[in-house]
Structure 1
Amino acid sequence: MSQDARLYKEGIFTTSDDSALYYRHWPAEKTDSRKLIILFHRGHEHSGRLQHIVDELIMPDTHFYAWDARGHGQSPGERGYSPSLARSVQDVDEFVRFVAQDAGVSSEDIIVIAQSVGAVLVSTWAHDYAPKIRGMILASPAFKVKLYVPFARTGLRLMQNFRGMFYVNSYVKGKYLTHDPQRVASFSQDKLITRQIAVNILLDLYKTAERIVTDSSAITLPTQVLISGDDFVVHAEPQKRFYQGLRSSIKEQHILPGFYHDTLGEKDREIAFEKMKLFISRLYEAAPYSFDYSHEDQWSPGADAWRELQARPKLRSLKGLFWAALRYGMNTLGRRSKGVQLGYDTGFDSGSTLDYVYRNVPEGNGILGRMIDRNYLNSIGWRGIRVRKVHIQQMIQRALATLRESHLPLRAVDIAAGHGRYVLDALENETDIESILLRDYSALNVAKGQAMIEERGLSHIAQFKEGNAFDYDSLATLHPAPTLGIVSGLYELFPSNDLLKTSLAGLAAAIPPGGVLVYTGQPWHPQLKTIAYTLTSHQNGIPWMMRVRSQKEMDTLVEQAGFEKCSQLIDEYGIFTVSMAVRKAHG
């Protein structure tokens, strides 16, 4: 396994929150090579520990990149700390986009190799951001770390609530990672290795991994999973469940007997390297794999989950009694909360309810009513909705910058705006906006939104009209033609993709090349059954049932309409996404 060390260049990559992350680039022999592999290191480690992978794969025709994650190696920040795991996953997305641009390749030319915690970041990125890469290789992903102290997670959570931020030192020693004595020694001696990890990241790791393993069917990328057979650090079963759920027709699982956790740094790692090289070779020899999403609204786990919501538990079963009791409590005592009462009056998915959730001020009948309302507003779904509002406003700002760079006029339309608060909040101080058109199906929402326009003194550029978000003709003939289209919180309310295709086609006909679409998605929700079995929608008080769409399904619909996705944000819970796509040239 001895190879001459391949030379690398050093650089700094700046994230969207202005963190300057260190990275290494091992250039290909031919600088115009379109083969590119990005390496993501294990927890506690750094890019220097990956030099041997570059050397031992012996792929001189391929570019290699690797970063030092924030709080690791030569990157800045408190050791082992990140604001959240979601922020680190966003770093992955931004780094891959940077690398593609830096190397002058398409994202579909990129293969990712990630280990342990790095593999959790990458698999979460694959799930939440639906990147268009060639494929990924995950070595011993840390979906469930072995904590040998009973009730360790519960204790850590309680301590975090009491102490705030603190750090946990890893129990792992080099001899539990590999049988290779050189790797054991270097792990002990490397001063850039950090043994501590922030408690928020450790707890986020467990929570996020459970979500990704449970919902791995949303991932359709070609994937190879390498599982160490004698891993002291992470459990194997979640890795196997993750693999079983993957829906790509190109996937491989290899269990490596006798291997410790440092799968790619083991004494007999040539076994793993041969499997990786064969997988990589096959991916590059074939055209980029494309999953068929044409019948996703009928034949998919998301469609199955929506159909399951229609079959409520039997009333006399334990589950049925539980949901009946919860509905009764919501419909009686719960009505002391203003938010709950508003939900029953207008629909829990209505523009009025969303506007109330955005304001986030508890109101109700007496102290008890306000307490119930506070608890209602603090539900994970509504917290995610408020983050989505922030992300929509941020994405609208990015969209405006894109339009200005293209020297296009700034004319916005939101086809299902509710009361329109998030749009007006984002645009009211922009002096170069030519027009703002807000539309909604509801006369009540139109009246409320028009009043908000007048209160803000925006009547000279903004108007609110009734409109059907699924009427192709009314969208395609919008005048003046919008350069920024916005669709928020709409599509998950409808199970059929035909409606979405009509809506997106209408927007594509109206928006000129270079124009921008900002759209939301809901790839996952932890309370689908709670919502469906207890809350009512704006549609004549029927149960509020949502159809989750994987991010890739949503992006595919947008792409088929004629847009190219270029940016995305997602909340830390993994519920709501906000994406931006640019209208491609017609035809």
Structure 2
Amino acid sequence: MSVRPGAEPYSHDGTGDHARTGIVLAHGFTGSPASMRPWGQFLAEAGYTVRVPRLPGHGTTWQEMNRTRWQDWYAAVDSAFRELHEQCDQVFVAGLSMGGALATRLAQEHGPRVRGLMLVNPAYKVDDIRLRALPVLQTVLPSLPGIGNDIKKAGEDEVCYDRIPLKALFSQTRLWATVVRDLPEVTQPVVLWHSVEDHIVPTSSSELFLSRVSSTDVTENVLHDSYHVATLDHDAPRIFEESVQFIERLS
């Protein structure tokens, strides 16, 4: 199945002093690597080795996504991490929204092999009463209207679906449950950015993460000029620069 223009994965092998530091960046639910590409390119220009995988079922059609599950999405980021772990001296993982949950799962599964965790509006829960009906609803209704491109800055596009595939959404809730259960296993240094105004993921999601992890090196940054997809929004340059500061401090 053909991939939508702009939704292709991004890969860069670093150069110079930073080449042996790898970063895996994971995009969000129904989104695509387009939401992480500018961040990945910023890190690549700084000399780092970068991987932005396209999660299975994303960047094609929502119908195809409905045939995938969270274990498929995790396998993609896990494969990218394992590749960089073989190639690099240290590897950082980063994620936006559901990608944040996948990055957190990498930290839980790989322990100290993950040097640091970088999260932007990570999704571990959504306060929507309709989710209570999802176990039944996903068996009779294929999709609902989409929620993508929650971006304050005009002219940006994360190349996402205009429908929410419900079988995939139900699987995402299983991912949340698994990751939240194991949050105390997260011990790595963390930097987390969350938007004051986010129409997709509530602030309580980040609060849940911060209240449960065992990490002692935690930096929380509040974004005042971005919506949910902050990696494409007004605060993106700040996120990119602060991520490099975080990596350099830990290297």
TM-score (norm 2): 0.83
Give the aligned partner of residue 145 of structure 2.
169
Matched, 1:274 2:247: no
Contact 1:140 1:228 in 2 (8 A): yes
2:24–2:80 contact (8 Å) kept in structure 1: no
What letter corresponds to residue 123 of structure 2 in structure 1?
Answer: A
Q: Does structure 1 residue 110 correspond to structure 2 residue 96?
A: no
1:156 and 2:134 are equivalent in the alignment? yes
> In the alignment, is residue 240 of structure 1 matched against residue 207 of structure 2?
yes
**Contact 1:70 1:82 (C-alpha < 8 Å) held by counterparts:** no
**Over alpha carbons, which structure has the higher Rg?**
1
* Higher RCO structure, 1 or 2 (CA under 8 Å, sep 6+): 2
**In 2: Cα distance, 1:58 partner to 1:79 partner:** 31
1:176-575 alignment, distance < 5 Å: 177-183=150-156, 186-187=157-158, 190=159, 193-284=160-251
| Structure 1 gaps, min length 5 | 1-21, 285-587
CA distance 1:198–1:254, change in 2 (3 Å) = same
Aligned mates of 2:247, 2:53 — CA distance in 1: 21
What corresponds to 2:71 in structure 1? Answer: 86
Number of residue pairs matched by the alignment? 244
Rate the CA distance shift 1:88–1:60 in 2: closer, same or farther, 3 A.
same
Compute the displacement of 1:86 (Å): 2.7
Residue 230 of structure 1 and its aligned partner are, at CA, apart by 0.7
1:100 to partner: Cα distance: 3.5
Identity of aligned residues (%): 19
The CA deviation string for residues 122-149 of structure 1, in whole angstroms up to 9 with x for no partner, is: 21232245461211101001222353xx
Structure 2 distance, partners of 1:59, 1:36, is: 13
Work out the CA distance in 2 between the residues paired with 1:42 and 1:97.
20
Q: Which residue pairs with 1:532 in the alignment?
A: none
Residues 146 and 233, structure 1, Cα contact 8 Å, conserved in 2: no
Deviation at 1:110, TM superposition (A): 0.9
Deviation string, structure 1 residues 167-208 (Cα, Å, up to 9, x no partner): 333134x3xx2221121xx34xx4xx3233432331232343
Q: Describe the SS at the equivalent of 1:276.
A: helix
- Tell me if structure 2 keeps the 8 A contact 1:111–1:133: yes
Could you list the per-position Cα deviations for residues 310-357 of structure 1 after superposition, in whole angstroms to 9, with x for gaps in the alignment? Answer: xxxxxxxxxxxxxxxxxxxxxxxxxxxxxxxxxxxxxxxxxxxxxxxx
Distance 1:57 1:160 in 2: 39
Say which SS state the counterpart of residue 134 (structure 1) adopts.
strand
Q: How far apart, in 2, do the equivalents of 1:130 and 1:84 lie?
A: 24
**Conserved in 2, the CA contact under 8 Å of 1:146 and 1:232?**
no
**1:240–1:77 distance in 2 versus 1, CA, 3 Å:** closer
Q: CA deviation at 1:153?
A: 1.5
Secondary structure (helix, strand or coil) at the match of 2:99 reads helix
Give the TM-score normalised by structure 1: 0.38
* Native 8 Å contact 1:44 1:194 kept in 2: yes
Residue number in structure 1 paired with 2:46? 60
> What's the CA shift for 1:210?
3.8
Q: Alpha-carbon deviation of 1:274?
A: 3.2
Residue 97 (structure 1) aligns with? 82
Q: Label 1:146 to 1:82 Cα distance change in 2 as closer, same or farther (>3 A).
A: farther
CA distance in 1, matches of 2:102, 2:116: 15
Contact 1:216–1:245 (Cα < 8 Å) also in 2: yes
Is the contact between residue 29 and residue 97 of structure 2 (CA under 8 Å) also seen in structure 1?
Answer: yes
Structure 2 unaligned runs (5+)? 1-7
Q: Distance in 1 between matches of 2:197 and 2:169?
A: 22
Give the Cα separation in 2 of the matches to 1:238 and 1:51: 24
| 1:77 to partner: Cα distance | 9.0
Question: How far apart, CA to CA, are the structure 2 residues paired with 1:59 and 1:113?
Answer: 17
